[in-house]
Chain A
Amino acid sequence: DGGITQSPKYLFRKEGQNVTLSCEQNLNHDAMYWYRQDPGQGLRLIYYSQIVNDFQKGDIAEGYSVSREKKESFPLTVTSAQKNPTAFYLCATRGQGYAREPQHFGDGTRLSIL
């Protein structure tokens, strides 16, 4: 079954703890993205990667880190430096087979503070 798998669906973080959100895809897409969604603020770009072993900061990268060791995987770590981590986190992918190819989204991970 093709698609984007985000796990876990719900995640709880203790103060001072780092947590890692998983994003796996089998669409063979080169580009992958992480967004944060807060009520009334739309989706904001955290990090993105257009190729393995390379990634760029988005608009709100502070307190987050990523890696892209495999084409299929783009994990996001929410570090203890992120003081307001409670949000809905969305992973997206995009193929580069044609111009204006759209981004496709997973079903998200909801992160809360204990």
Chain B
Amino acid sequence: QQQVKQSPQSLIVQKGGISIINCAYENTAFDYFPWYQQFPGKGPALLIAIRPDVSEKKEGRFTISFNKSAKQFSLHIMDSQPGDSATYFCAGTSGSRLTFGEGTQLTVNP
């Protein structure tokens, strides 16, 4: 049972463009929604996270938008750079457990 659906599976943007990745969740027990960034051959690293009582969180070029009623949240990467090319995972936290989306492979062309 996939409790977090992520789209798109892959995304190609030009340098300076906006990258948008969307996630939808089913489990209303989730109480925290992190995004992880993973480079090839490495483990995922926490990028940014949001609580469900907040509608938006911004850290530098990265912004999470959260819609609790729709059970959806998204990651926006402004002014995308080639160094942002990586796989991005959304997730939901319930207690000490994380449930991940399927991942989005982002490629930023120079």
A residues neighboring B (CB under 8 Å): 4, 6, 31, 33, 40-45, 48, 50, 58, 90, 92, 94, 96, 100, 102-108
Contact = CB atoms under 8 A, between A and B. Distances in A.
Contact of B43 (A94, A100, A106): A106
Given A100-B31, A100-B32, A105-B44, A43 B9 contact: no
Contacts of B103: 40, 42
B56 interface: no
A3 to B, nearest CB: 10
Interface of B: 4, 6, 9, 31-32, 34, 36, 41-46, 49, 51, 89, 93, 96-103
B82 to A, nearest CB: 22
B98 A103 contact: yes
A107 B9 contact: no
Contacts of A108: 41-43
Given A42-B101, A43-B89, 6 more contacts: A31-B96, A33-B98, A42-B103, A45-B97, A94-B96, A105-B45
Contacts of A45: 97-99
